[in-house]
Amino acid sequence: MTEDLRTRLEGLRSARGFLLPHHGAMAAGDPALHNAYLAMYRALTVDQRVLSPFTREVVWLALLVVAEEAIGTHHIELFLSTGGTGDQAEAVISMAGFAAGFDGLTMAEGAWGRQLPDLRAGEAYARGLGLLNAGWVPADAAELAMLCAQAGRGAQGAVRHHLKAAYAMGLPEPQMLEALSYAIWPVGVNRFVEACETWHHLLQSGEVTPSEPFRIWAEMGGMGAYDPGTGGKVGDFGGNT
């Protein structure tokens, strides 16, 4: 048993190049949980999905900035290995740092609109991102990166802004989903749930035109937190998520 655990952890360290503390805790105390964790990690962050390797790492870089996850150095290596440059990294980091600019501009439009009647928060925010990017990062990758970054912040107004922009650009919905799903790892599944709720409301508003699978999702009602007043039941996962 002891040697099996040691071999397991050494094998994981060899495969990844590093080992984080929680792997040791789970492997020692709950191997079944560790196996499930590794399967989820691989499906979410390792296996190739719909985003190109470069776009995926652009998204990750922005997410790490807003999550203040300095430990994610392996994503910097992946960004560079997929063709990313120092100038592109600087642009992505700067855009992610400007994520809170959406909040400030929205506040200013609402509170100071009488004095600044020409201020349009969404337009000003988009211009700011464009200036920070300065053409270094392709527009689709930049849009998906900021969609994920704002989901990581839990900034639902900004998530809605970027979802609408992604639809306007004609980006495929599976790309939007993949970008949003990365928030699960560094900031938790609740941020992903909140972003998907915003997405669902946007689809129901009629402001964007979904594909057929997402139209079916949009037509589904009864989604949201457990409400005992409705006779709803907590799901099999033991909670709302």
Using one digit for the tens of pLDDT, what is the confidence trace for 106-154? 999 999 999 999 999 999 999 999 999 999 999 999 999 999 999 999 9
- Kindly report the average pLDDT of the chain as a whole number: 91
Burial 108-124 (b: 16+ CB within 10 A, else e): ebeeeeeeeeeeebbeb
Using the predicted structure, report yes or no on whether residue 202 has a pLDDT greater than 60.
Answer: yes
Using the predicted structure, report yes or no on whether residue 51 has a pLDDT greater than 80.
Answer: yes
Nearest CA to 191 among 148, 141, 142, 130? 148
Residue 233: predicted pLDDT:
45
The residue ranking higher by pLDDT, 13 or 187, is 187
Residue 24: predicted pLDDT:
84
Contacts of 201 (CB under 8 A, 6+ apart): 160
Region 174-185: mean pLDDT is 97
The angle that helices 156-169 and 173-181 make with each other, rounded to 10 degrees, is: 150
Q: Which of 70-79, 117-126, 219-228 is predicted most confidently?
A: 117-126
| Residue 241 binned pLDDT confidence (cut-offs 50, 70, 90) | low
Using the predicted structure, report yes or no on whether residue 99 has a pLDDT greater than 70.
Answer: yes
Contact 192, 184 (CB under 8 A): yes
